[in-house]
Structure 1
Amino acid sequence: MVQGPQTEGYEHDDAWGTNWLRVDETHELYYEQYGKKDGKAGIQDFKTFIYLHGGPGGHISKGNTSFFNPEHYRVVLLDQRGCGQSRPNASTINNTTWHLVSDIEALREHLGIAKWHVVFGGSWGSTLALAYAQTHPSSVGSLVLRGIFAVRDLELKWTMVPGGASMLFPDRFDEFINFLPEEERADHVASYHKRLISSDESISHPAARAWNKWEVSISTLYPNIKGLAQLDDASYNLAHARTEAHYFQNKAWLEDGQLLKKENIDKIRHIPTTIIQGRYDVVCPPITAWELHKAFPESKLHWVSDAGHSATEPGTKKKLIEACEEYASLSI
């Protein structure tokens, strides 16, 4: 049931299903299930959400379920390859966008779900949701996307090199760059990547903390104390930073602007889609949400005028809950 104001979201019981799905010789994916689980027709007939976490390199938690009404939905949370409780942790072996797309489809088939009622993704999760929907449009009933990220060169430069986010957060960007010895700063992203993939934890772990601190420190309109506390979790730090650097170095195995091209949008034009974007999102600049909406005018775009990047900022969370409630009544 709803706990307090709508922006607080829904409270779920503990997961009624947790397991690992082996997808190749290296990776086992951890997933959890919440919400509706029984009925005369069987769980496969319930409206099922899949939640795609950000990063790349993030992880799931029970708190991710707060957007979804347990009276309406079966909710599936998935730790992507190398992330969270998926095994092995922080592995970049066979870890690309297209492996993850295949994993989502494998999980759908494994769980006996005819079609995801909603694919929900924010930040990197929006990237993955779009890539999945464009690859498997018949498996997607609707899309709820937040903080749009298409891994275009302009977006990566905005966040990672001087002249973009650094103009707004110069002190924090200097801290990010100055972590590296001066001789490693000419190509700081490559230098971080080299440190993050090191098997020596005395090299990789401090680099992971510094990498993640930059992103966390610019993710919300107001200081993100809870997010900064997560920097003390060594397993999260390495998985997030190593995977993110791995994907950024390889442009997520996407052609620049691939997800926004007409021929790819045409594949999903029939899918009901809601886009929710914080007006002051510094991690995923709002231009991408706008350009996605212009390419895909059938979508609904909601600007949140008092929010940055995080899904948990009050205005953004309220809109996400409203979108999920709207789609609960949708026949797909």
Structure 2
Amino acid sequence: MRRTGREHNDTKHLLDDIEALPTHLGIDAWIVNGVSWGSTLALAYAQAYPDRVLGMVLFAVTTTSRREGDWITEGVGAIFPEAWDRFARHAEEAGTGYQRGTSEQPRTRLVAAYSALLESADPAVREAASQEWALWEDTHVAIGAGGFRRDPRWADDRFRHAFVRLATHYWSHDGFCAPPLLQRMDRLRGIPATLIHGRRDISSPLVTAWELHRAWPGSRLIVDEGDGHGGASMAEAWRRANDDLVSAAGR
């Protein structure tokens, strides 16, 4: 399986690509949406180009901070200890330098260990790491999704390898957002926004959406008590929020 270099694959390059679209189409300003990692990208875009943004709707809110990356790969193991033991043990036994220990002990981050495995020259190493990551993904979304089930997309080797390689690349670099997005919320002053998040989202706990809402005067936070990292009722709230912004913009 052919792999491309990652040296130009970062958030800055993605923002350049996004900004090229309204420039090409002659769009002065637009409503920006983002879901999950896409909400990180939407926030980064709005902070870079605030004059382009009429309003925002963020769904399953993330900012890809160091805290979030460590939670989804390590902290949430407190809820799924059996599955996390397997996930961590694979990185330990693969010779990445990762070792479990207390927070006081300097060590390789687990997400960085998996990122290194996905860059191995040995296709068998990449395959095994992508399979373990995919199993962990299915595990930690299980509560909000109504139970464990395999994502059928993992059966596609190309999709699985690309997904895991990019996820570990961005998460191990804190989304290439420096300083962190929450420290730049002054850039979004005056931009209306709706944040939609599930109470049962174990993978991305509500605290991130709450802190973003607190730092963003004029934003509205909708907490769906029954959903996790997405669901039908959240999607309906997403649709209504966009309709409201379109009406307010008079478009």
Q: Same fold (TM over 0.5)?
A: yes
Distance change >3 Å, CA 216–CA 142, structure 1 → 2: farther
Q: Which has the higher helix share?
A: 2
Q: How is 1:1-332 mapped onto 2 (pairs within 5 angstroms)?
A: 91-116=5-30, 118-161=31-74, 164-180=75-91, 182=93, 183-184=95-96, 185-186=98-99, 187=108, 188-220=110-142, 221=144, 222-223=146-147, 225=149, 228-255=151-178, 258-261=180-183, 264-310=184-230, 313-331=231-249
Alignment partners' CA distance in 1, 2:4 and 2:219 = 35
| Structure 2 stretches lacking a partner, 5+ long | 100-107
- Give me the whole-angstrom Cα distance separating, in 1, the residues matched to 2:135 and 2:34: 22
Alpha-carbon spacing, 1:249–1:234, altered in 2? closer, same or farther (3 Å): same
CA drift of 1:297 comes to 2.8
Asked if structure 1 preserves the Cα contact closer than 8 Å seen for 2:70 and 2:111, the reply is no
Tell me the equivalent position of 2:105: none
Q: Aligned partners of 1:271, 1:209: CA distance in 2, in Å?
A: 41
Structure 1 residues 90 and 324: CA distance shift in structure 2, 3 A = farther
What CA RMSD, in Å, does the superposition of the two structures yield over aligned residues? Answer: 2.1
For each residue in 1:49-86, what CA deviation from the matched residue of structure 2 results, as whole angstroms up to 9, or x when unmatched? xxxxxxxxxxxxxxxxxxxxxxxxxxxxxxxxxxxxxx
Distance 1:90 1:280, change over 3 A: farther
**For the residues of structure 1 that align with 2:8 and 2:178, how far apart are their CA atoms?**
19
**Aligned-partner SS, 1:231:** helix
- Name the CA shift for 1:89/1:145 in 2 (closer, same or farther; >3 Å): farther
Deviation at 1:216, TM superposition (A): 3.0
Post-superposition Cα deviations, 1:64-121, rounded to whole Å, max 9, x if no partner, equal xxxxxxxxxxxxxxxxxxxxxxxx97652301111111110012212332222x2110
When normalised by structure 1's length, the TM-score is 0.66
Give how far 1:145 is off.
0.4
Structure 2 SS opposite 1:277: strand
Aligned partner of 1:113: which letter?
Answer: I
Q: Do the aligned partners of 1:90 and 1:243 also contact (CA within 8 Å) in 2?
A: no
Mapped partners of 1:212, 1:202: distance in 2: 15
Q: Residue type of the partner of 1:321?
A: R
Spell out, residue by residue over 1:286-325, the C-alpha distance to the aligned partner (whole angstroms, 9 max, x if none).
1110000111131000001011113xx1221221122122
User: Counterpart of 1:276 in 2: which secondary structure?
Assistant: strand
Cα 1:90–1:323 shift into 2, 3 Å: farther
Moved more, 103-112 or 132-141: 103-112
Structure 2 Cα separation of the partners of residues 89 and 145 of structure 1 = 32
Distance 1:155 1:284, change over 3 A: same
2: CA distance between counterparts of 1:171 and 1:303? 30
The letter for the 2-side match of 1:124 is: W
Name the CA distance, whole Å, in 1 between partners of 2:124 and 2:3.
17
- Checking the alignment, whether the CA contact within 8 Å between 1:276 and 1:301 is kept in structure 2 is yes
How many pairs are equivalent? 236
Whole-angstrom distance in 2 between the partners of 1:138 and 1:127 = 18
Q: TM-score of the superposition, structure 2-length normalised? A: 0.85
